[in-house]
Amino acid sequence: MFQKVLASFGSGGARIDARLLDRTSAPGRPLRGEVLLAGGEVDQEINGLAVTLLARVEVPGDDRRTETTDLPFGTQQLCGREYIRAGQQVRLPFELDLPWETPVSSVAGKPVAGIAVGVQTNLDLANTVADPQDVDAAAIEPLPAQQRVLDALSRIGFGFSGAALEKGRINGVNQQLPFFQEIRFTPSQRFASVFSSVAVTFLTAATRTEVVLEVTKRVRVSKSGGFGGRGQEFLGAFTVDHAALDRTPWERQIEGWLHEVAKSRGIFD
């Protein structure tokens, strides 16, 4: 009886150990793994076992403060109501289909600073105070279309400065997830006097990727008087057809749009 009481508080109870079998994956592709479920010192009833895709997302808070929270964006149930016997071991494979808008968390094997994406395994035990959990980080590499745009920005002299996941929606585009990724760059020398930052967001589907560019343009004279200010933000979007990826000079297209945005439009610009 005392062992059952301890197991209800997590001591000597069933345990889980999850691991990803794929070292890397990509948006729209499967992510494979397995969960080792090990029985404790007593028999226990299981309400369910599930794996969930999680992303750490910035959420605007009060007083312009930014808070972070872990948002789920896909779940797979591995088992329902079952019993795990004392000392029993069960290995459960899983395969999660990554949404096309899954954030990129790794480029060429290097983690993207500011991005946390992973798989959380949750074991729901009946009549327990604490349920076992396990979290594994996932390395999500860019798709060829995404990599081509990132390479184009690099070739025209833009440097990676960071990335973030933001809760919310971008107006005027087809967005599936309740958050989006911004990959941020510092402008090249050619644009440094005009832009303070450039960010790219990928909204990907099976056959195309919509690329959203957000540019923060330096303000020479603020409308309230004086110089400077937080800058004006401009959004531009274009679509990459995956089948025609190599037939478009993306460096020239991106640079052309940036030149149009850089043109002066008045005293406040």
**Average pLDDT value for residue range 213-229:** 63
With pLDDT > 70 as the criterion, what percentage of the chain qualifies?
Answer: 87
pLDDT above 50: residue 229: no
- Greater model confidence, 41 or 50: 50
pLDDT of residue 46: 93
pLDDT of residue 117: 97
Q: Pick left, alpha or beta for residue 268 (phi over 0 → left; psi -120 to 50 → alpha; otherwise beta).
A: alpha
pLDDT of residue 12: 58
100, 27 Cβ separation under 8 angstroms: yes
Report the DSSP beta bridge partners of residue 198: 185, 215
pLDDT of residue 129: 61
Residue ranges matching CATH 2.60.40.640 in the chain: 13-137
83-137 residue pLDDT tens: 999 999 999 999 999 999 999 999 999 999 999 999 999 999 987 767 899 999 9
Provide the CATH topology of domain 13-137: Immunoglobulin-like (2.60.40)
Report the DSSP beta bridge partners of residue 134: 121
143-159 residue pLDDT tens: 999 999 999 999 999 99
264: confidence class by pLDDT, cuts 50, 70, 90: low
Number of H helices, E strands in the chain: 3, 15
Calpha distance 126→8 (Å, rounded): 8
Calpha distance 234→217 (Å, rounded): 8
Among candidates 20, 245, 248, 22, which has minimal Cα distance to 134? 20
pLDDT of residue 233: 85
230: confidence class by pLDDT, cuts 50, 70, 90: low
pTM of the model: 0.86
